[in-house]
Amino acid sequence: MSELQLLSLLPFMVLAVASLVVILLIAFRASHTVIQVTGFIMMCLVVLATWYVKDTLPRLVPPLFIVDGQAALFTGLIIFSVLVVGLLSYIYFEEREENPKEYYILLFLATLGGAILTISQHFISFFIGLELLSVSLYALIAYLRTRNHAVEAGMKYLVLAAMSSAFLLFGMALIYMETGTMTFPGIAEKLTDGISSPLFLFGTGAMIVAIGFKLGLVPFHLWIADVYQGSPSPVTAFIATTSKIGAFAVLLRFAQTVNLHEYPLMITVFSVIAVASMVMGNVLALRQQNLKRLLAYSSIAHFGYLLVAFLTGSKAGTEATIFYLAAYSITLLAAFGVIVLLSTGDEEADRIENYQGLIWRKPVLGTILTVALFSLAGIPLTAGFLAKFMVLSAGVQQSQWPLLIVLVLTSVIGLYYYLRIISTLFATADRPVNIPGPRHPFFYFSTYAALVVLAGALCWLGVFPGMVLQGIRSFLLLH
Amino acid sequence: MPILFYLSSAVAIIATIMVITRYHPIHALLYLVVSFLAIAMVFLSLGAPFAAALEVIVYAGAIMVLFIFVVMMLNLGKETAAQEKDWLRPAVWIGPGVLTLVLLMEMSILLLAPPQRNVAVAVVTPKQVALSLYGEYIIAVELIGFLLTTGIVGAAHIGKQKKKSLHRFLQA
């Protein structure tokens, strides 16, 4: 391995070191605050490292990895989400468990798994990354094991994720049997020789099961509501952003490399999954009384929208997916941030009644949640609207009319349940709710400030997306 | 020989089904060992002796260690001996025993049969495996190290008990 290749892997090495540093800090009995601050600094270092190696991209690290602009974008998005999740974790875990330290090891290892997925171009690294992500998530979901739903959620995720890993391995084995190679470019090379073989299509189908599970797409969505509800709120935010970004990044890379868009059968499969996700996600969310479950169902619908952009297979489609993921992550992090700040030591603020009249009780948090919900619904002047608009325009260029019609119709259904919550936020509070004062003032206010920045970013992205889009384009050119 | 492959695959499937339908963990473990041995036999029948040996050492060996642990932890005297006897009634071990016998027969057939000259089998030596693991796949090996760390940290956290219970040797 040459020096330049090692250099291009620098961000991932720093990320790996972060988990080791946390282990050492625990060994030296460092306090929660020290670990939190060190973790924050390490994540900032990862971002700096990514920025530092940007000019040497793209770099191939055969046979496992390719570090290019797209990978850097996804990694950046993942690290950004983890920064916010880490910040949310302090307040949340400080009030609940006396020993929240191992949490950070698992969090950083899961992040490493997600980041590895973004640079994978080989089945082995793909599988190891996915397992690293899943195994950490089993423990993270059940982290507060004395709570009622935590172990149940962890168990559900464990069984289903193990099942989906089996599908993934079987699919990989079939493709390996057909092509005799496990690198994505190698597979693409072998496939151009012959026509699409049933073994390849069957193998890809089995892999779609695993990826669909990770992304929570219909019909592999059975875990999503229970896991969202049962896991600690910062972990839910992590699953909703980092884990899904990683899985999507590897799907995108695989599809781009082997030209999945040239197989009519695959297009049909993905279209059916996209339509089913959009319809089911929105319909299931309609009558939800639990905010976390509602966000779970809405995430099904959102990844359905994302598949529409993915299906175009064009440059505009890739740009749209990345912008969409960025907007979606910011939105969800803001929403979960509000949930974390409103939760008390013994009660998760996840029922919709908890939010009645929030805007009068806590104007700032109420406004942040309102902006986030507007963005999820795709109301103009928020990032969500622009993201949806880019998906639509990418779809129009490829004239995918049936999908686009479903997208628009289901968005209208979606509007109903987002607006239902917003109307709850503005209703008069009929019962006085005792709000706990900030117990950890420094972290409380920094979380508060972070949420305000996130909400500001949502509006800014919705009004002036030019700079970010320019950035995405310049990164995408590095391949 | 394809018949050996299918026979050992069948043994593997039967044993695995028995693993997940047993109620007693020790009984399930017995079948699990058989299942791993059957998979090793699958490798052997495909002409991969090194993979077969690894399968036996790593997986079946690990289960044996688990067995020893359980026996060691629960070894409290006469009543445990009675309990062990109760666990290992003929009805319990006859199933795994028969399946293992099938595997043993297969292996003897494979070893005693005259070598077939018409099949070209590339033998993968331990050295080749080591070279590729610590050569081009070194990052994958390191990542698997992190994967193991994750498993250990997660299991340690989930399994941690509030109440401190000392082993009987340490109770003084």
**Contact yes or no for A19 and B139 at CB 8 A:** no
Residue A112 near chain B (CB below 8 Å): yes
> What is B2-123's CATH number, 1.20.120.1200, 2.60.40.10, 2.60.40.420, 3.30.230.10?
1.20.120.1200
Environment class of residue A87 by beta-carbon count within 10 Å: exposed (0-12), middle (13-18) or buried (19+)?
Answer: buried
* Side-chain half-sphere CA neighbours of A172 within 13 A: 21
d(CA A319, CA A137): 29
**B52 and B44 Cβ atoms separated by less than 8 Å:** yes
In this predicted structure, the answer to whether residue A436 has a pLDDT above a threshold of 90 is no
Residue A116: closest C-alpha in chain B: B143
Residue B153 near chain A (CB below 8 Å): yes
In this predicted structure, the answer to whether residue A251 has a pLDDT above a threshold of 70 is yes
pLDDT at position A264 is 87
Does residue A183 sit in helix, strand or coil?
A: strand
pLDDT at position B63 is 77
**A213 and A160 Cβ atoms separated by less than 8 Å:** yes
pLDDT at position A102 is 87
Of B146, B147, B153, the CB nearest to A102: B153
**Contact yes or no for B143 and A132 at CB 8 A:** yes
**Contact yes or no for B149 and A109 at CB 8 A:** yes
Residue B157 near chain A (CB below 8 Å): yes
List pLDDT tens digits, range A4-57.
Answer: 888 889 999 999 999 999 999 999 988 888 999 999 999 999 999 988 888 887
pLDDT at position B162 is 63
d(CA B89, CA B96): 12
Per-residue pLDDT of chain B (172 residues), as tens digits, is: 688 899 999 999 999 999 999 887 778 888 888 999 999 999 988 888 888 998 899 888 887 787 777 767 766 667 767 777 776 777 778 888 899 899 898 888 888 877 666 666 677 888 988 999 998 899 999 999 999 999 999 988 888 766 555 666 666 5
**Contact yes or no for B150 and A61 at CB 8 A:** no
Task: For residue A156, give the nearest of A245, A105, A207, A221 by alpha carbon.
Answer: A221
In this predicted structure, the answer to whether residue A302 has a pLDDT above a threshold of 90 is yes
DSSP secondary structure letter of residue A28:
T
Task: Quote the minimal CA–CA distance from A141 to chain B in Å.
Answer: 10
Angle of helix A102-119 versus helix A32-53 axis, rounded to 10: 20
For residue A58, what are the contacts with CB-CB under 8 A and spacing of at least 6?
A66, A67, A68, A69, A478, A479
Of B139, B143, B158, the CB nearest to A139: B158
Contacts of B142 in chain A (CB under 8 A): 16
List pLDDT tens digits, range A64-102.
Answer: 999 998 999 999 999 999 999 999 998 888 877 667 888
Return the bridge partners of A290, or none. A351
**Contact yes or no for B146 and A19 at CB 8 A:** yes
Of A63, A102, A138, the CB nearest to B136: A63
Task: For residue A384, give the nearest of A331, A455, A307, A309 by alpha carbon.
Answer: A331
**A156 and A140 Cβ atoms separated by less than 8 Å:** no
pLDDT at position A287 is 87
d(CA A140, CA A231): 8
d(CA A347, CA A125): 40
What is the arithmetic mean of pLDDT over A189-199?
77
State the residue for tokens 């995108």: A252
**Contact yes or no for B157 and A125 at CB 8 A:** no
Contacts of B133 in chain A (CB under 8 A): none
State the residue for tokens 């797209």: A70
Residue B161 near chain A (CB below 8 Å): no
- Which residue out of B141, B153, B162, B163 would a mutagenesis test of the A interface target, given it has the greatest number of A Cβ atoms within 10 Å? B153
pLDDT at position A121 is 93
d(CA A305, CA A321): 9
Residue B150 near chain A (CB below 8 Å): yes
Of A62, A64, A139, the CB nearest to B154: A139
List pLDDT tens digits, range A98-129.
Answer: 678 889 999 999 999 999 999 999 999 999 99
Q: Within a 10 A sphere around the Cβ of A413, how many other Cβ atoms? A: 16
From residue B80, give the alpha-carbon distance in Å to each of A285, B72, B76, B87: 55, 10, 6, 10
Alpha carbon distance, N-terminus to C-terminus of chain B: 60
pTM: 0.91
φ, ψ for residue A165 (rounded to 5)?
A: -65, -40
d(CA B143, CA A412): 44
**Residue A328, amino acid:** Y
Task: Quote the minimal CA–CA distance from A217 to chain B in Å.
Answer: 26
Contacts with B, A 172-201, CB within 8 Å: none
**Residue A371, amino acid:** V
Of A106, A110, A124, the CB nearest to B137: A124
Q: Percentage of chain A surpassing pLDDT 70?
A: 97
Residue A35 near chain B (CB below 8 Å): no
DSSP alpha helix (H) spans, A343-465: 358-361, 363-377, 383-397, 401-426, 441-463
pLDDT at position A430 is 65
List pLDDT tens digits, range A370-390.
Answer: 999 999 998 888 999 999 999
**A91 and A341 Cβ atoms separated by less than 8 Å:** yes
Please provide the size of chain A in residues: 479
Please count the residue pairs, one from chain A and one from chain B, whose beta carbons lie less than 8 angstroms apart. 67
Among positive and negative, which fits the CA dihedral B89, B92, B93, B94? positive
Task: Quote the minimal CA–CA distance from B84 to chain A in Å.
Answer: 31
Of A61, A109, A124, the CB nearest to B146: A109
DSSP secondary structure letter of residue B123:
P
Task: Quote the minimal CA–CA distance from A135 to chain B in Å.
Answer: 6
From residue A159, give the alpha-carbon distance in Å to each of A165, A247, A275: 10, 18, 27
Residue A131 near chain B (CB below 8 Å): yes
d(CA A399, CA A108): 41
In this predicted structure, the answer to whether residue A189 has a pLDDT above a threshold of 90 is no
* Token pair of A425 as six digits: 């936020």
Task: For residue A105, give the nearest of B57, B72, B155, B45 by alpha carbon.
Answer: B155
